[in-house]
Amino acid sequence: MLRSSNGLGAGVAAGLGAIVLFARAAFAADGRPVDWQLGFQPAATPIAQQMHDFHTLVLVIITVITLFIMALLLWVMVRYNAKANPEPSRTSHNTTIEVAWTIIPVLILLVIAIPSFRLLYAQYDVPKADLTVKATAHQWYWSYAYPDQGNFSFDSLLVEKEDLKPDQPYLLAVDNEVVVPVNKVVHVLVTSDDVIHNWAVPAFGMKTDAVRGRNSLAWFQATRPGVYYGQCSELCGSRHAYMPIAVRVVSEEEFADWVVKAQGAYASTMPGPAAPAKNVNADQSADTQDLASAEIH
């Protein structure tokens, strides 16, 4: 008796332990996916939060509809099967029910449409940039330029498995991360050098196609420091899975320090008097905001 209750206790404890571990695994990480994850990565921008809220609303609505339909089906199967109901009704019209099953779905769609359009407009209502970063896709890596910080640029490549540092997730970590300040509006000008790629960071609620010859504007305002990972999300060739995106959100002071270091490290990429070809790019970046907003509207 004692032994079996001990066994039961151990079983319950193990079960609770597994639940705690599972919950930790499912909800712990910020900015990256985890094994057995449920739901989205925690929202790191107001837009991502709005997306999550909208998702939750729709999830509640479809759950209620599904349960209601299931209850109706069960009721019909039990109450009106041929055995329980040998004399079938000959009813062919019921105005009240017909009006209800037309009006109620319309109302449900309205309830969904209002926050849906609100979210859509919030995404495309682009606030003025505090910082602009240009992201260019290549087969198969990203390169980034900071037009307002001297237009230095650098390539951002996957960290191979054997070179990973302890906290770096494989297929997400890169050698040179995009660095941005926290709580600032960052415009990302997304373009491609070859085929169509896609710049996507789930925690920011961002996903923008990178198309050669076009500058597409995306934006985010990260509200928490941290490292946020994403991946190219448009099938772009054999190494599509090997061109991840990593954005490091830091304080304003850390960002200023990083800019000084980056300007030194990537000085050779900055346009100077000896490189007139690069100046064309610099002029272009001054106009990018107009170009990008022209595309959106």
Quick one: which of 43, 203, 217, 236 contacts Cu ion (CB under 5 A)? 236
Taking the complex as a whole, how short is the minimal distance between the CB of residue 210 and Cu ion, in angstroms? 7
Taking the complex as a whole, how short is the minimal distance between the CB of residue 212 and Cu ion, in angstroms? 12
Whether omega before 199 lies within 30 degrees of 0, making that bond cis, reads no
Q: Which stretch binds Cu ion (CB under 5 A): 84-92, 116-124, 162-170, 234-242?
A: 234-242
Q: Which stretch binds Cu ion (CB under 5 A): 22-30, 37-45, 69-77, 196-204?
A: 196-204
Quick one: which of 232, 246, 249, 259 contacts Cu ion (CB under 5 A)? 232
Q: From the DSSP assignment, how many helices (H) and strands (E) are in the chain?
A: 5, 10
| Nearest C-alpha neighbor of 260 from the set 135, 130, 150 | 150
The pairing of strands 226-232 and 197-201 is antiparallel
Q: Which one, 32 or 197, has the nearer CB to Cu ion? A: 197
CA distances, 16 to each of 5, 11, 21, 52, 290 (Å): 16, 9, 9, 28, 56
Give the span between the Cα atoms of 202 and 229, in whole angstroms: 8
Q: Which stretch binds Cu ion (CB under 5 A): 67-75, 167-175, 190-198, 267-275?
A: 190-198
Taking the complex as a whole, how short is the minimal distance between the CB of residue 141 and Cu ion, in angstroms? 9
Q: Which stretch binds Cu ion (CB under 5 A): 21-29, 150-158, 201-209, 226-234?
A: 226-234
Token digits for 102? 């037309």
Residues 6+ apart with CB under 8 A from 132: 146, 147, 148, 186, 187, 188, 189, 285, 288, 289
DSSP string across 111-153: HHHHHHHHHHHHHHSPPPPSEEEEEEEETTEEEEEEGGGT-EE
Taking the complex as a whole, how short is the minimal distance between the CB of residue 136 and Cu ion, in angstroms? 11
Taking the complex as a whole, how short is the minimal distance between the CB of residue 142 and Cu ion, in angstroms? 8
Q: Which one, 187 or 197, has the nearer CB to Cu ion? A: 197
Taking the complex as a whole, how short is the minimal distance between the CB of residue 202 and Cu ion, in angstroms? 16
Footprint (CB under 5 A) of Cu ion, residues 78-117: none
Is there binding between residue 135 and Cu ion (CB under 5 A)? no
Quick one: which of 153, 197, 209, 255 contacts Cu ion (CB under 5 A)? 197
Taking the complex as a whole, how short is the minimal distance between the CB of residue 138 and Cu ion, in angstroms? 8
Q: Which helix (H) or strand (E) holds 186?
A: strand 186-192
CA distances, 149 to each of 93, 115, 134, 160, 263 (Å): 71, 37, 12, 30, 8
* Residues contacting Cu ion: total by CB under 5 A: 3
Q: Which stretch binds Cu ion (CB under 5 A): 46-54, 108-116, 214-222, 229-237?
A: 229-237
Binding interface with Cu ion (CB under 5 A):
197, 232, 236
